[in-house]
Structure 1
Amino acid sequence: MADQDPGRLQKQDLLQLQAKVKQAEEKQRQAEENQRQAEENQRQAEEEKRQAEKQMLPTSLPQFLHACHVHLSVGLSSRINYRTGTQGNPENAESKLRPDKIREWTTFPREQSRVWEDLFATYFVSGRHFTSLNTLRESGDELRVRSLGSELDLHYHQRYTVEDRVSGVIRRLYSNQDLRNLFHLKGQVQSENHGNTLSPENRYTEPDISSSQQSPMRKRHKKINMGGDALPETPTVRSRLSRPRADQFCVYNTGSDEAIPVYVIEYKAPHKLTKGTIEAGLVDMDVGEVIENVEEDDPVKTARWRVAACISQTFSYMIQAGLEYGYVCTGEAFIFLHVNSDDHTTVYYYLSVPNDDVGETTGWASDSDRDNRLHLTAIGQVLAFTLRALRTPPHGQNWRNHAGAMLKKWKIPHDDIPESELEKSSEKLSDYKQNRPSRNEYIRISPVKTRSKGLAAGSSRRPAKTSTNWETSDDDSSGNGGYDPESPLSGRPSNIMVVVPPPKPGQGGSNTQTSGQQREYCTQKCLLGLINGGLLDENCPNVASHGD
């Protein structure tokens, strides 16, 4: 056998060696790829776990407002049951106290914005104190299978998505001493619907707290006289429907031994009082003329009559309870109402349509301080409105008697408009829109600042004397309360806090102000002194008012 060619053997060995090297390299590459994939899977699993844990964490207030809108509010209109919803007219104002005038609440944006400024003057609301994202998402999933076809459906929805959420926020705000004092919090807010809601004797009560050693007999109600008014056994101001209807609620500031009424709510099913009817009918109006001039074949006049009647229902309830605040709610729309303490004849309104004003998302992001629409959400509007109303105590019997003596009652000089005609009018107004200066102004601004941009958020404590006490709003002698769209709040320097007394809600919508009512800005040095408890700036134009 001839010897093999050494050169040929070397070549074969080399090829085999190269094949083995290539195979080893492929195995190594595959092993590295498998390891990389395993590491990626582990990283992804850890990220999913982190995100899941994050979803279970409590939220900050901005995050909470955003999630409530996305999970609880968006999509509400698609669940309104127009086809088989309950029948009947939403208005029932006959023989109830009514206002003489209905006027736009032109200072609503300014007043709501000041609530947000006060809230975010402390870091507390930026902490994680509120309902988790997971809970809110699950709640939203449950709601999406329910339709809204009656006042009962609406109340369930609003109790679940708005009332309970606002109450939960306020319970947590109560744990902060500064916020508790600022907003006069007793512990929580609760809405009630029962026969004692309008009874002056029961406005301030000691709850029936029983134990095994206590008698089951009801405790006597504790009466508190708020404003020097005697509380007679039989109140003078009573309507024939003094017991609340199923769609009427009174919200109380509730503590361990008292429940103080704050504002009232009237629910109207959205398929009965439609968004189009509200848009067309909610304008400045003299109620007497609206009642006299309603025409069946004029959809706009009919809409004004319906809206005026619904507002008058809530207005009458407010007067009976001695309250300056209330709102009408259809789920889609909120008509916020206010009565000045010294003028019972005019009620002021602000229209909020959260899903139209905000859209699918609020524009909020946790890593950005860009403008957002958190203040326009249903929760945002009702929360700020509630905190605003909490600062105004209810009026006593003298105030209610005086209002009852001055106000007229809703009387219809002819037969009611047939329900079929009202339904036709609503259908014709489905796309109706009004130009509302106050609403336009509030949509343009962004008062909910989620990261520190100035001195207002520079301390965990509220600066003393820099936030207005709205109970002294009588200092504004202008009396018009107009909100000047040429001077939006968003135009203020971000590092300056303004010390100005709030005006009363508008009377006629004039935008003029009495000379000297608006103070100059505080100096930065003075603000630093206020925040840190240090020396004040003698050159500050407001230094005299800081020394109290």
Structure 2
Amino acid sequence: MAAMDNQLVRIYRDIEHWDALTKDAEQDVRRIMRNIMALDEQIAIANGYPDQELLQSYEFAVQMANLGLEREALYNEWVATNGRLKELRSIPRQRLELQEYLEACHSIDLAMPARDILPSRFEVITDEAEIESTIYPQHIVPATDFAAKQMDIWSRLSQGPEICDGAWYTGYLELEWIRAKVDANIVGCPHSLFTFMGDTVDEAVTDILGRIVKDGHLVQSLGIGAFIETVDDEKIVNISRSPLDQGLSTIFSYRKLRGGILRRPVPVLVTCYRPPYRLSLNEILTGLRGSIEVAREIVQSPAVKRFCEMSKVLVVAVITHLFQRMLVVGTRFGYITTGEAYIFLEIGADARLVRYSLCVPRHDVESDPVTGLHRTAVAQVLAFTLRAFRAKRMPPAWYQKAQQELWKWRVDPDDIFNKIPPLVRKMKRNIEYVPGNWSPYLERSPLEQRVQRMILPGLKPRFNEASFNDLGYFGFLTSHRIQPAGEPMDQDDEPSGQDEEPSNQDGESIEPAEILIDYQPFCTPECLWGLERFRALDKACPNFRYHGNKHLRLHELLDGLQEQLDGEAANWTQTNHKFLCRSGLYTTLLKVRLASHGYTLLLKGVIPSKIDHLCREADMYDQLLALQGFFIPVSFGMIETQNEVFSRSFGGFSLFMVFGGFPEGVMPLYQCMAAGIDKQVIVDAAERTFRYIHAERVFHFDPEPRNMLYDARQNRVIVADFERAMYDEVEGQQYLNPILQIEGVHEWTPERKRIPDVCFGQQRDYVRQRIEEFFERGY
């Protein structure tokens, strides 16, 4: 799988491809049946012809023979097409082989909606008086033999036909259900990360373990026989996981006691769940470098407010948090996961020493064409779990002695995190993760050593989608095959000109509501800009003919959209709106059309508990009013419907921000790569856009390529997604200093902060660097 030529496609794209092929096959079956029926009718009419001389003529006999051959050919085509349709319908239900299963699990793992969100108020507050002393290791050193030990497990697994041969694992249809489930899961706290990892990684590991224990030779080779029990003539390994406690969970299994009859629970490993916004990859890469002498470098070192030192303290605090729990429950194995990165820990024979290894599956998989599949999250956790199973067990006295003799440190990871200012955390992104080379450690493996594409035949290649939400704000432009101007992206015919009046088969003019919402073009920025300011109509707008003699008033547009959505929600119809894609943790995008006047734009829906995020974005658009329609979309404010607008895939929403205005022909940046547009041109255009934004004293806070579009006609970059932006002030919950205690209750008070000019300059530098990286890596 590994490099995959920068073309990693998630499993749901395969499902969509099969659905498209199935629909085509169904249409072919119906077409052939209609042709057969028409041919039968033609034959019946010919046989019933009253002219007996014609019936007995040679020409008639030849004609009937040709009709018979034609019917036979159609019948054979119908049989073949029907067989193909049956096969297509069965593909998603087929069980998968190990390699396909790991590929699919990795694709779903990449779908985690991880974003650096603003922390909730209750998650930020910590009381230093309540921080307890924690046992800490004296030495934290890299595990130089980690790759060799992990690959040794896969070498042993290659000896078992039970795992190598046959399709035993969950099929695509069930995996699609899991994908849809985790797509709706907001990873914003340890519990939601625990749920996500359970669905995408832990279940898969348990599934593969269930196949391993059925092979006696494999069990003997791995040395895990003591954990195997027989239930109803079936061998199983009984694994249980403790409830989440302070972000930690322990995996237990049951091991035979001497005599082989009784069993007792044995801790296998401990997992620490740390949400990605509370331990970012940037902080891990900055703080976890080389060996660390904890007492000298961290505990006894004076507090320094620089990012590199604070990152090291944060990472060591999280490791210490996990280290103490490992000693308490009695295991030497554990790992920290953020969903994006994994830090695997092993306590040495001397409890003062902890060995670690950092893995980032989304980068590891693509870095090595030979060992890529062995480095997916599921494969790594599986091998690490098997190592924990077969490791030498230390006696309880060893753990008790370690707890008594090791030094303690009053520390709380959340307290350390709170002391790193958000602006500092966001701007320090200058360390690149470099995956190690595991190829020398690969001897043999049940996984094929080849570059495996996760693209089915006939599916158009796409650029790398490995980055979390890297299609982001403009994902609807491709995933639903709709261009900003409204034409299907894959249609072969040229779109009709704007001056051509839409009509039905009789040549009569049709209303916009009679056009499918998929094919209704979006209104131009100039059109919506004129609507917002009650200016003249834009004759270049593709919906100009429906707007009437003059623009509606803004309140008429908003009231009309609200009433229309309420009506369609009450009747469970979607004639004039369509859910496009999820655009963030709490939000989704809808395409909407005001049927009476043809205005076609976007809605951004938000769940009720996060309405403040959308209000913030609407406020930012107001601050950038002068740039609307030029460098950012046009925003019309917010509406709230009485009835919840519902979709099975995205849920229900009643709060929306109304906006739109994308010039015809704009492209997401990954399409610019495919079109061969010079990256320097886009870099300069993006820097120019952000200069205008910064001139209005607005700090974007998420200037990623996924939030940008390029307009080649006017050489400009359009930026969106301002829900986390700032306007010369920082809310109290983001800064730890302005905390007050009123009547014994902690209260957060807003403190106005002027954003330093240097931050704007640093953000423009980051935008330039990030776009250049995007063009080089594809994500």
Note whether the superposition's TM-score is higher than 0.5: yes
Cα shift readout 1:423-468 (whole Å, capped 9, x = no counterpart): 3443133453255xxx412378666443599xxxxxxxxxxxxxxx
**2:384 aligned with 1:385, yes or no?**
yes
In structure 1, runs of 5+ residues without a counterpart are: 1-16, 195-243, 364-369, 454-548
Identity rate, percent: 24
- Conservation of the 8 A alpha-carbon contact between 1:193 and 1:249: yes
Structure with the bigger RCO (C-alpha within 8 Å, sep 6+) is 1
| Counterparts of 1:93 and 1:26, CA distance in 2 | 95
Among 137, 141, 145, which residue is 2:184 paired with?
A: 145
- Conservation of the 8 A alpha-carbon contact between 2:163 and 2:211: no
**2:111 aligned with 1:75, yes or no?**
yes
- Conservation of the 8 A alpha-carbon contact between 1:101 and 1:345: yes
* More displaced 10-residue stretch of structure 1: 418-427 or 108-117: 418-427
Distance 1:22 1:144, change over 3 A: farther
- 1:80 alignment partner AA: R
In the alignment, what sits opposite 2:173?
134
| Counterparts of 1:83 and 1:23, CA distance in 2 | 82
- 1:174-189 to structure 2, matched below 5 A, reads 174-181=213-220, 182-184=222-224, 185-186=227-228, 187-188=236-237
Cα shift at 1:375 = 0.8
Among 355, 361, 369, which residue is 1:348 paired with?
A: 355
Cα shift at 1:23 = 10
**Scaled by the length of structure 2, what TM-score is found?**
0.43
**2:153 aligned with 1:156, yes or no?**
no
In the alignment, what sits opposite 2:696?
none
In the alignment, what sits opposite 1:367?
none
Cα shift readout 1:153-194 (whole Å, capped 9, x = no counterpart): 100101111112211221222222222333414233534335
| Counterparts of 2:306 and 2:59, CA distance in 1 | 88
- 1:385-464 to structure 2, matched below 5 A, reads 385-411=384-410, 419=418, 421-435=420-434, 439-442=435-438, 448-450=445-447
Distance 1:430 1:27, change over 3 A: farther
- 1:117-266 to structure 2, matched below 5 A, reads 117-126=155-164, 127-181=166-220, 182-184=222-224, 185-186=227-228, 187-188=236-237, 190-193=239-242, 245-254=245-254, 257-266=263-272
| Counterparts of 1:84 and 1:42, CA distance in 2 | 59
- Conservation of the 8 A alpha-carbon contact between 2:287 and 2:308: yes
| Counterparts of 1:382 and 1:257, CA distance in 2 | 25
| Counterparts of 1:29 and 1:410, CA distance in 2 | 92
- 1:117 alignment partner AA: S
SS in 1 for 2:344: strand
- 1:21-100 to structure 2, matched below 5 A, reads 36=73, 38-70=75-107, 72-76=108-112, 78-80=113-115, 82-83=117-118, 87-88=123-124, 94-100=132-138
* More displaced 10-residue stretch of structure 1: 258-267 or 298-307: 258-267
| Counterparts of 1:245 and 1:50, CA distance in 2 | 47
- 1:57 alignment partner AA: Q
Distance 1:259 1:393, change over 3 A: farther
SS in 2 for 1:323: coil
| Counterparts of 2:403 and 2:354, CA distance in 1 | 15
Cα shift at 1:42 = 3.5
Distance 1:246 1:35, change over 3 A: farther
Cα shift at 1:292 = 3.5
| Counterparts of 1:452 and 1:432, CA distance in 2 | 30
SS in 1 for 2:420: helix
Cα shift at 1:80 = 3.4
Distance 1:452 1:346, change over 3 A: closer
Task: Say how many residue pairs are matched.
Answer: 371
In the alignment, what sits opposite 1:506?
none
Cα shift at 1:21 = 9.7
- 1:534-545 to structure 2, matched below 5 A, reads none
Cα shift at 1:419 = 1.6
SS in 2 for 1:117: helix
RMSD: 3.5
Cα shift at 1:405 = 3.5
| Counterparts of 1:353 and 1:59, CA distance in 2 | 25
Distance 1:27 1:66, change over 3 A: farther
In the alignment, what sits opposite 2:610?
none
**Scaled by the length of structure 1, what TM-score is found?**
0.60
- Conservation of the 8 A alpha-carbon contact between 1:102 and 1:349: yes
Comparing both structures, which one devotes a greater share of its residues to strand?
Answer: 2
- 2:99 alignment partner AA: P
SS in 1 for 2:123: coil
- Conservation of the 8 A alpha-carbon contact between 2:142 and 2:355: yes
| Counterparts of 2:172 and 2:94, CA distance in 1 | 7
SS in 2 for 1:263: strand
SS in 2 for 1:96: strand
| Counterparts of 1:441 and 1:61, CA distance in 2 | 23
- 2:242 alignment partner AA: N
Cα shift readout 1:340-382 (whole Å, capped 9, x = no counterpart): 12x11111111111122225xx99xxxxxx8351111110000
| Counterparts of 2:110 and 2:72, CA distance in 1 | 44
Among 114, 122, 130, which residue is 2:152 paired with?
A: 114
In structure 2, runs of 5+ residues without a counterpart are: 1-53, 229-235, 256-261, 451-779
**2:309 aligned with 1:301, yes or no?**
yes
SS in 2 for 1:389: helix
Cα shift readout 1:264-285 (whole Å, capped 9, x = no counterpart): 1111111111111112111221
Distance 1:84 1:316, change over 3 A: closer
| Counterparts of 2:358 and 2:69, CA distance in 1 | 63
- Conservation of the 8 A alpha-carbon contact between 1:262 and 1:394: no
| Counterparts of 2:64 and 2:307, CA distance in 1 | 80
SS in 1 for 2:133: coil
- Conservation of the 8 A alpha-carbon contact between 2:370 and 2:449: no
Distance 1:350 1:418, change over 3 A: closer
| Counterparts of 1:129 and 1:57, CA distance in 2 | 9
- Conservation of the 8 A alpha-carbon contact between 1:337 and 1:350: yes
| Counterparts of 1:119 and 1:89, CA distance in 2 | 47
* More displaced 10-residue stretch of structure 1: 328-337 or 254-263: 254-263
SS in 1 for 2:199: helix
Among 268, 273, 277, which residue is 2:279 paired with?
A: 273
- 1:298-337 to structure 2, matched below 5 A, reads 298-337=306-345
- Conservation of the 8 A alpha-carbon contact between 2:205 and 2:381: yes
- Conservation of the 8 A alpha-carbon contact between 1:293 and 1:301: no
**2:143 aligned with 1:105, yes or no?**
yes
- Conservation of the 8 A alpha-carbon contact between 1:167 and 1:189: no
- 1:346 alignment partner AA: L
| Counterparts of 1:312 and 1:65, CA distance in 2 | 32
| Counterparts of 2:196 and 2:436, CA distance in 1 | 27
Cα shift at 1:49 = 2.4
Deviation beyond 6 Å, 4+ runs, structure 1? 20-31, 89-93
| Counterparts of 2:191 and 2:337, CA distance in 1 | 13
- 1:518-529 to structure 2, matched below 5 A, reads none
| Counterparts of 2:116 and 2:411, CA distance in 1 | 30
